[in-house]
Amino acid sequence: MALGVGLALDGSTLGAQKAPAVSLGNFASQRLIVLPVQTLRGDAASWVTAPAWEKFRRELDDSLSAALAARGPGRGWAYSADVARLSRRNALYTRDPYAIAVERLRGQPYKADDHIPDAMAGSLRTLVALSDARYALVPVELVFEKQGERQRAVLRLALIDARLGTLVWVGDAATDAAATIPAGLAGLIAQKAADFVAPKN
């Protein structure tokens, strides 16, 4: 079972107990890049404060890469560290992969085949072309949601056909609610995201 919420191809929301209509595992044989985590929602009650964000973001990037790779998506996937190195080597042609224009995907409903903003599409098109890929998995935003005295971490993921500039899938990977910050928070978030590739037995 995939924990989190996916959007079906018709745009309807899928409950937490259902697998998403589009599984990331379906893209195991595709050339795909995984971008760094983009943003932390500043207005949300947070286990990670803004001053600690950059350090935590790198930890989360590394955890996501390890968790996704462990679920067997294949050799055609390039992860955030690979994307960052590629961008540095081609700095004249690429934008900062840590600062993609994701604002319109933050906390808003989208459905498959929606066109992404031009600024975002241009950045992703260059990165996938340099990677000989087509798709980009973008960790759009990390949010900490209050649930009474508890809270949970929710990472929004967007799978984009970068060549067409269209959205393929959106999923929210959510941890269990807890009263205090769980140990190994980055790893827990990453495992929930990896459930969209293949549920952990």
Q: What is the pLDDT of residues 4-61, one digit of tens each?
A: 344 433 333 333 334 444 578 888 888 899 999 999 987 766 798 888 999 999 999 9
CA distances from 159 to 97, 114, 139, 182, 191 (A): 15, 12, 9, 28, 17
Dist CA 56 CA 60 (whole Å): 6
Per-residue pLDDT of the chain (201 residues; tens, 9 = 90+): 233 344 433 333 333 334 444 578 888 888 899 999 999 987 766 798 888 999 999 999 999 999 999 987 767 899 999 999 998 999 888 888 998 878 767 765 666 657 888 888 888 999 998 888 999 999 999 999 998 889 999 999 999 999 999 989 888 999 999 999 999 999 999 999 999 998 876
Can you give the pTM of this predicted structure? Answer: 0.84
Dist CA 160 CA 24 (whole Å): 11
Which runs of consecutive H residues, i.e. helices, occur in the chain?
A: 53-70, 80-89, 118-130, 185-194
